[in-house]
Structure 1
Amino acid sequence: MKLLVLASLLCSATAQYWKGMNVGANNPDGSCKSQADWYSVFTTLQGLPGGYNSVRLYATSDCDTLANAVPAAISTGMKILVGVWTQDRAHFDREKGALEWALGRYGSDWILAVSVGSEDLYRKETSAARIAEQIYDVRGMINYLGHPKQVGHVDTWTAWVDPANRDVITACDFVGMNGFPYWQGATIPQSSDVFWKSYDDTKRAVDSVKPGIWIWMTETGWPVTGDSFGASVPSRSNAQQFYKIVACEAFKRGHVFWYAYQDYTSNPSFGVVDANRNPIYDLSC
């Protein structure tokens, strides 16, 4: 009986974590995803080995992302980590407006959380003070509308360990960490240690400012095709190995959003699903 209770508790703890995928608003041919396209994305992800229960989106207004994705999410039971684009002020206002519209139309049960910005600090496109201000702005809006959710920011681990960005950590309810051993020139045998060092360094930096808030693993993956980066070599077999040694462990430790659903034209290409919506490599754990 004790073993059954323990197993139940362990399963319950695991179920608290979101297993997600990064999905862009555009189809591989550049066209915007329709509601039917989003429905296909969500049902495909749910049918993959182990099943995905959530997605991370980058914007709200671009390609009418929320207008098309939310009805499909509600009909399939998929949850969304909403992305609010922060550049420039007019674009930011459109993003807030699209989120406000979606909340008014559909409520908020489909929302996991809201990320204000994505790798803005890494690209040095804005200041930490400005991102913090936008986080408070979006949080204030959704609270006023009666739909309180966690609001944070997604950036590279290198941005989170930079003391210049402490104001953003202070503003966040959660921190989204992007970490790619491929872009650090790691080999596959090195990749797990490199990834978890990035995670640990992020957690240490975040805890020094705001102890206890969650670190979400919002982007990681390994390319299947493209140019090598240092000792990092894209291939299906390497992507497969990276998934087995990093994804399968990460899914046990916290919220994870793998990168990426489809990615045909980039060099390197990180896509895990082909044109027929079949896995390019084994996604089982």
Structure 2
Amino acid sequence: MKFLSVATALVAALPYTTAYWKGFNVAAENPDGSCKTQAQWKRAFQLLQDLPGHFTSVRVYAASDCNTLANAVPAAISTGTQLLVGVWTEDAAHYNAEKEALKAAINAHGSDWMIAISVGSEDLYRGDTDASTLAQQIYDVRGMVRAMGVTQEVGHVDTWTAWVDGANTAVIEASDFIGTDGYPYFQSTAIEDAADTFWDSVNAVRNVVNNVSPGKWVWVTETGWPVSGPNYGSAVASTANAQKYWRQVACAAFNQIHIFWYAYQDYTSSPSFGVYGNSAKNIKYDLSAC
């Protein structure tokens, strides 16, 4: 059956209490714009493991930017962390640099540290490419890593609105997994209705995927609620609401779907979604409710 994918096999091998990947999005840049060193990646991974829930899964956005994989992979291996890898697709020179960085990481460290590979991130939402071009890049990266003996799934991350757009079915067909990003905050949803809005978006993507390519997994690759920033209609950014969203969404999602929370740290941004502030002692809200 098509359900017997690599991701399914990995999940089956995990204990019941960790049946789904649960992790955080972590940027390669520090809040001051500098690139994370290997030591800083290691510290970030250790801080996530120190959180309630002991998070050992991380999504990174790129392969070559800021030497992401060159620095993050050794740090991940040393801390028992596994990575959902990103490969940027634009422009041609950048895309080739990303592929070379991914190849270098695999040649140096194998692939046991890797959860999966996302080719592109919200490219369709931004209108930076078309579905046919992106699909070919997914096939390209998959072919490259399969030739290296890598069996992890290769897919794409985009907004839920991009996935339900009928113009983008070629990307669903090309992907082993579908990573969906959904933010009720940006949909101007009041916190009281946020959980329903979140699951409505996930189910909308699942329905489309099941119609196009039955059996493929839908992952949540970004969601969260900002601790500070402007309001969007009825959506109010606050620490209290971020706490509520965590308890309403994360605690339920951890037992239902692969999910990567946004975000580990972004305290200079507005809106700011970061769980950590500018130090390990500065956790924005309580994550112990799950």
What does 1:137-216 correspond to in 2, within 5 Å?
137-216=140-219
Shift of 1:166: 0.2
Q: Is the 8 A contact 1:217 1:257 kept in 2?
A: yes
Partner secondary structure for residue 253 of structure 1: coil
In structure 2, what is the equivalent of residue 24 of structure 1?
27
Structure 1 partner of 2:100: 97
TM-score by length of 2: 0.94
Aligned partner of 2:222 in structure 1 is 219
5+ long unaligned stretches in structure 1: 1-8
- Distance between the aligned counterparts of 1:96 and 1:256, measured in 2? 25
CA distance in 2, matches of 1:283, 1:134: 37
How far, CA to CA, are the matches of 1:97 and 1:28 in structure 2?
A: 27
- Could you list the structure 1 runs, at least 4 aligned residues long, displaced by more than 4 angstroms after superposition: none
The amino acid across from 2:178 in the alignment is V
Task: Tell me which amino acid in the other structure corresponds to 1:81.
Answer: L
Q: Could you list the per-position Cα deviations for residues 87-122 of structure 1 after superposition, in whole angstroms to 9, with x for gaps in the alignment?
A: 101100000000000000000000000000000000
CA distance in 2 between counterparts of 1:172 and 1:65 reads: 23
Q: Name structure 2 gaps, 5 residues minimum.
A: 1-11
Q: Match for residue 132 of structure 1? A: 135
- Using the TM superposition, give the Cα deviation of residue 51 of structure 1 relative to its aligned residue in structure 2, in angstroms: 1.2
Q: CA deviation at 1:13?
A: 3.1
RMSD: 1.1
Give the aligned partner of residue 245 of structure 1: 248
Counterpart in the other structure of 1:282: 286
* Equivalent residue letter for 1:221: G
AA matched with 1:281: Y
Aligned-residue offset at 1:14: 3.6
From 47, 50, 53, the counterpart of 2:53: 50
Counterpart residue identity of residue 88, structure 1: D
Using the alignment, how far apart are the partners of 1:138 and 1:145 within structure 2?
Answer: 11
Q: Distance in 1 between matches of 2:215 and 2:146?
A: 22
Aligned mates of 1:159, 1:207 — CA distance in 2: 16
What TM-score do the two structures reach when normalised by structure 1? 0.95
**Residue 85 of structure 2: which of 82, 85, 95 is its match?**
82
Structure-1 separation of matches of 2:284 and 2:269: 15
For residue 54 of structure 2, give the secondary structure of its aligned residue in structure 1.
coil
For the pair 1:259 / 2:259, whether they are aligned, the reply is no
Query: What's the % identity of the aligned pairs?
Result: 58
C-alpha contact 1:48 1:279 (8 A) present in aligned 2: no
Q: Please, which moves more after superposition, 275-284 or 179-188?
A: 275-284
CA contact (8 A) 2:19 2:255 kept: no
Q: Counterparts of 1:35 and 1:215 in 2: how far apart (Å)? A: 31
For residues 197-223 of structure 1, what are the alpha-carbon distances to aligned partners after superposition, in whole Å with 9 as ceiling and x for unaligned? 000000001111001111101000000
Q: Distance in 2 between matches of 1:210 and 1:230?
A: 36
Q: Give the Å deviation of 1:50.
A: 1.1
What is the alpha-carbon distance in structure 1 between the residues aligned to residue 276 and residue 169 of structure 2?
A: 37
Bigger mean CA deviation after superposition, 114-123 or 275-284: 275-284
Per-residue deviation, residues 163-199 of structure 1 (Å, max 9, x unmatched): 0000000000000010000000000110010000000
Question: Is the Cα–Cα contact under 8 Å of residues 117 and 154 in structure 2 kept in the other structure?
Answer: yes
Give the partner amino acid of 2:22.
K
Q: Which residue of 1 aligns with 2:4?
A: none
Deviation for aligned residue 1:19 = 1.0
